[in-house]
Amino acid sequence: MFRGLYISANSTDLAARRIDVVVNNIANLNTTGYKRDLVANVNIPEFPQILLSAIGPGSRTPSPVPNNTGVEVQEDKGKYTVSTNNGFFSVLTPKGEYKSRNIEFKANEEGILSTAHGYPVVGENGLINTGGQPITISGDGTVMVGDEAVDRIKRYNPQNVIGIISNGINVNNVFIKYDQGDVHATGDKFDTAIQGNGFFSLETPDGVQFTRNGNFYRDTEGFLVTEEGYKVLGENGYIKVDDNGFIMDSNGNVMINGDQVLDKLKLVDFKDYKFLTKVTGSTFRLFDDAPYDAHVKAFEGTVKQGYLEGSNVNSVKEMVSLLDINRNYESSQKIIKAYDDLLAKAVNDIGRV
């Protein structure tokens, strides 16, 4: 079977996914506080590879490399690149282990040596835990913390390997771009924008969520709420405001009568936005396994009453991207059609001979 047929089909799937993301960005061009999505695609070595092995009486399963030498190591600010011409390194992925002669990794927050996409590097004793300490890697793949050998990077020597094939380009994830959108004046005292990094906190039926959409209202009970009716949280709970007059200062203090502080908006920021996931276009929550206290940090932005933050979608860039993706999609379709014609000839013409 033709390898190019699989890669072309994979490319059309990727293009379809990218089109969905771009179209959704364009649809939310005027959504207050919307943050655009971006498809991130990767190729080898960050995705499982297939080892093409000869099938026959002599075929055997991969075995460890007996002479574990010849590992080349490069280090740059805690990021390591190891390569070898003798065997294959192994990395654990959700689809099983993939093997490569070259891998890049660093210690994650738990001290486990992992690739940029969080796939652990396999050692001879399992996952390699450095305890978060600086490491060195010797020429035989031994991982050292100070003078102590923690583990050795495991290498396999596949039998009867005739080559390596990848799945082509793969969608690894859809990332959120948290760039600041344009902040514009509305004159409405309930409208609130954040200048800089940070989020408003909301109470929802699914727990606490976060937003940059400051298009707030006063409900029938006098509480500050979002368009969906979610209550805006203050440091002391729900915020009850007087419809006749209140002001918010740059720190998020909600005041009446000029200087009487009712409460302060619960404004938060995060150490790493990768632990956030979208609920709606402008509402986010922490992953279920991401503890709040471990990831939240002090808010350092400013609050602007009477302003709203627009989406960070650039309509021109998105349209150009959409046209480019469509061209790629059409090219992949033509390649698939060409391979289909070749297969038809192979079956009908060569088969007749």
Task: Give the pairing type, strands 247-248 and 253-256.
Answer: antiparallel
Per-residue pLDDT of the chain (353 residues; tens, 9 = 90+): 566 777 787 788 888 888 999 999 999 999 999 999 988 665 544 344 444 444 444 444 455 555 556 788 888 888 888 888 777 888 887 767 777 778 888 888 888 998 887 889 988 888 999 888 888 888 888 898 888 889 988 887 655 444 455 555 555 567 899 999 999 999 999 999 999 999 999 999 999 999 999 999 999 999 999 999 999 999 999 999 876 678 999 999 999 887 789 999 999 999 888 889 999 889 999 987 777 777 899 999 999 999 999 999 999 999 999 999 999 889 888 888 888 888 888 777 765 65
* Residue 50 confidence (pLDDT): 45
pLDDT at 44: 43
- Look at residue 229 in the predicted model and tell me its pLDDT: 93
Query: Amino acid letter at 198?
Result: G
At 246 the pLDDT is 87
Maximum Cα interatomic distance, the chain, rounded to a whole number of Å: 96
What predicted TM-score, i.e. pTM, was given to this entire model? 0.64
pLDDT on residue 93: 79
Q: Tokens 């498809």 label which residue? A: 39
Q: Tell me, what's the pLDDT at 60? A: 44
**Residue-level pLDDT at 285:** 93
Q: 209: which strand partners?
A: 202
Q: Look at residue 54 in the predicted model and tell me its pLDDT.
A: 42
CA dist., res. 267 & res. 239, Å (int): 13
**Whole-number Å distance between alpha carbons of 29 and 24:** 9
Query: What pLDDT, on a 0 to 100 scale, did the predictor assign at position 169?
Result: 53
CA distances from 252 to 33, 100, 258, 290 (A): 18, 52, 14, 26
Q: CA 300, CA 80: separation in Å to the nearest integer? A: 34
